[in-house]
Amino acid sequence: MRALIQRVSQAEVTVDGERIGQCGAGLLILVCAMQGDTEAEAARLVAKITKLRIFKDAAGKMNHSLLDVGGSALVVSQFTLAADTSRGNRPGFSSAAAPAEGEALYLHVASLLRGQGIATETGRFGADMAVALVNDGPVTIWLDTQSSNA
């Protein structure tokens, strides 16, 4: 699985002008399930996300995790994280999981976050969404369970 996480002071997602999800201080998590991903990859991704020490301590150093600071999360499906740009100028997305699998894993990520006690809201899988955020830092981190960084 792939995720792009952004430390935010707030974020929201709207569909057709209606806000369907939001979070306060915490993380905006853009998630993409790849072909062959399972719930095990989702669990590994969530374990990494919740424990990443990317929030400031009293001295201003990034020493606290999302769990440490009691932050919230907004999880948004983002199949374009599977983009293959190695040939030409039009990205390919064939390495993304099939829609039914992708949606199930995306929802599983949100469920696992909630299971950790993190207030978590989501976007709408497959919808044309508008995401607004106030990036805090900015801090933006790429995670991929198929590499050594997740």
CB 113 within 8 A of CB 50: yes
Q: How far apart are CA 26 and CA 10, in angstroms?
A: 7
Annotated catalytic sites, by residue? 78-80
Q: Answer for the pair 64, 55: CB distance below 8 angstroms, yes or no.
A: yes
CB atoms within 10 A of CB 19: 12
Residue type, 119: A
**Beta bridge pairs of residue 135:** 8
CA distance 59 to 99: 44
Mention every residue, 6+ apart, whose C-beta is less than 8 A from residue 74.
8, 11, 12, 13, 21, 22, 23, 26, 27, 28, 29, 120, 121, 122, 123
